[in-house]
């Protein structure tokens, strides 16, 4: 199992989760010295340096791998070259991209190639994009349509990694500083000021001020397979302010698994036919939880518990409720009856 970006903050969690579940990771990335240092932490870890501007090196990195998890941002730079290498190798591709434009480009640019190659490609298989999509899909049950979807992120705080900061800068530049939302059935770029409102989260958070239309990858993943004209995401004000503050430090480990003390509640509210349905997830560390999400995805892709080939979001590729139940050691989930 190849992990591109294995030495990054999230990549290290992914490698650890693969080892915990009995997979044999191949650690890849552009920095050979950091890869060798990583290999010393885990005996027997194979390392294969590769660069996204060198297709041959990516082909060597993926040779003989069963699948690849791309954990290297900014995904505007890495996603295209790594998914192209996966298609050449004929192996599943999963990434943990939170960048809206990178995810939209994956659906728009690689759907035909992945389908023709018979290769499953799952972008945004992470806390942002993947988890929300699974919650929304599970809340809808057998239905594939909704009037509106709201996903509120209740983070106790947000100490961003350097990779998150760089990805945010790339996204900001790609949209020329404009904001983006999903409304009227399409992505819409705008210059409106951000606004605040209160959101009543399930316990333990309760009522908290949030930034309205704090758009995350869910505005790409959810409407990629569900018929819904409005998808809105929200972020607790405290977390948004910490993300915006250049002096906020990177996350620091607080337990034996390397997770920070950050906690989260994700509240997905779906309105359909006048009925409101809610799905909730609670856990610790938004970066750490991306590892079991991504590894569970590749496990299901390899053992046949997936629904299609080609590019698809988590909710379209997998049985959402069953997938969420498999995350029980890492995540507490409440779904509608």
pLDDT digits (tens, 9 = 90+) for 13-63: 999 999 999 999 999 999 999 999 999 999 879 999 999 999 999 999 999
- pLDDT of 185-241, one tens digit each? 999 999 999 999 999 999 889 999 999 999 999 999 999 999 999 999 999 999 999
Q: 91-105: string of b/e by CB count within 10 Å (b at 16+)?
A: bbbbbbbbbbbbbbb
Q: Are 231 and 140 contacting, i.e. CB atoms less than 8 angstroms apart? A: no
Listed in order, the ranges of the chain carrying CATH 3.30.360.10 are: 127-287+329-334
- pLDDT of 258-292, one tens digit each? 999 999 999 999 999 999 999 999 999 999 999 99
Q: Pick one of 3.40.50.2300, 3.30.360.10, 3.40.50.10860, 3.40.50.12780 as the CATH number of 127-287+329-334.
A: 3.30.360.10
Say whether 91 sits in a helix, a strand or coil: coil
For residue 204, the model assigns a pLDDT of 85
Check whether 337 has a pLDDT greater than 90.
no
Q: Are 215 and 125 contacting, i.e. CB atoms less than 8 angstroms apart? A: no
Element counts in the chain: helices (H) and strands (E): 12, 16
For residue 226, the model assigns a pLDDT of 98
For residue 44, the model assigns a pLDDT of 76
Bridge partners, residue 120, by sequence: 310
- pLDDT of 133-185, one tens digit each? 999 999 999 999 999 999 999 999 999 999 999 999 999 898 899 999 999 99
Q: 128-155: string of b/e by CB count within 10 Å (b at 16+)?
A: bbbbbbbbbbbbbeeeeebeebbbbbbb
Residues belonging to the chain = 337
Q: 2-35: string of b/e by CB count within 10 Å (b at 16+)?
A: bbbbbbbbbbbbbbbbbbeeebebbbbbbeeebb
Q: Are 324 and 333 contacting, i.e. CB atoms less than 8 angstroms apart? A: yes
- pLDDT of 312-334, one tens digit each? 999 999 999 999 999 999 999 99
Mean pLDDT of the chain: 97
Listed in order, the ranges of the chain carrying CATH 3.40.50.720 are: 2-126+291-317
For residue 172, the model assigns a pLDDT of 86
Class of domain 2-126+291-317: alpha beta
- pLDDT of 71-94, one tens digit each? 999 999 999 999 999 999 999 999
Please tell me the distance from the alpha carbon of residue 322 to that of residue 172, in angstroms, as a whole number: 36
């Amino acid at each position: 199992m190849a992990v591109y970006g294995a030495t990054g903050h999230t990549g290290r969690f992914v490698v650890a989760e693969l080892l915990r579940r009995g997979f044999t990771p191949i650690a890849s990335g552009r920095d050979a010295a950091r890869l060798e240092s990583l290999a010393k932490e885990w005996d027997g870890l194979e390392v294969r340096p590769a660069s996204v501007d060198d297709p041959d090196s990516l082909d060597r990195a993926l040779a003989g791998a069963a699948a690849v998890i791309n954990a290297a941002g900014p995904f505007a730079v890495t996603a295209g070259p790594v998914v192209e290498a996966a298609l050449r190798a004929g192996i599943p591709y999963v990434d943990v991209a939170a960048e809206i434009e990178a995810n939209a480009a994956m659906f728009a640019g690689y759907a035909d190639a992945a389908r023709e190659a018979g290769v499953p490609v799952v972008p945004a298989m992470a806390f942002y994009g993947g988890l929300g999509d699974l919650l929304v899909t599970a809340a809808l049950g057998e239905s594939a349509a909704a009037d509106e979807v709201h996903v509120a992120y209740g983070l106790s705080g947000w100490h961003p990694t350097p990779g998150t900061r760089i990805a945010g800068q790339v996204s900001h530049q790609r949209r020329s500083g404009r904001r983006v939302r999903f409304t009227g059935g399409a992505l819409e770029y705008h210059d409106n000021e951000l606004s605040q409102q209160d959101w009543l989260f399930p316990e333990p958070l309760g009522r908290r001020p949030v930034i309205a239309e704090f758009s995350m990858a869910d505005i790409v993943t959810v409407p990629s397979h569900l018929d819904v004209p409005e998808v809105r995401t929200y972020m607790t004000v405290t977390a948004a302010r910490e993300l915006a503050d250049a002096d906020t430090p990177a996350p620091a480990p607080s337990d034996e698994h390397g997770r920070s003390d950050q906690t989260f509640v994700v509240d997905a509210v779906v309105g359909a036919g006048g009925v409101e349905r809610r799905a909730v997830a609670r856990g610790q560390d938004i970066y750490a939880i991306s590892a079991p999400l991504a590894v569970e995805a590749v496990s299901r892709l390899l053992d046949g518990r997936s629904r299609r080939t080609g590019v698809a979001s988590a909710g379209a590729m997998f049985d959402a409720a069953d997938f969420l139940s498999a995350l029980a050691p890492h995540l507490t989930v409440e779904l509608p009856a």
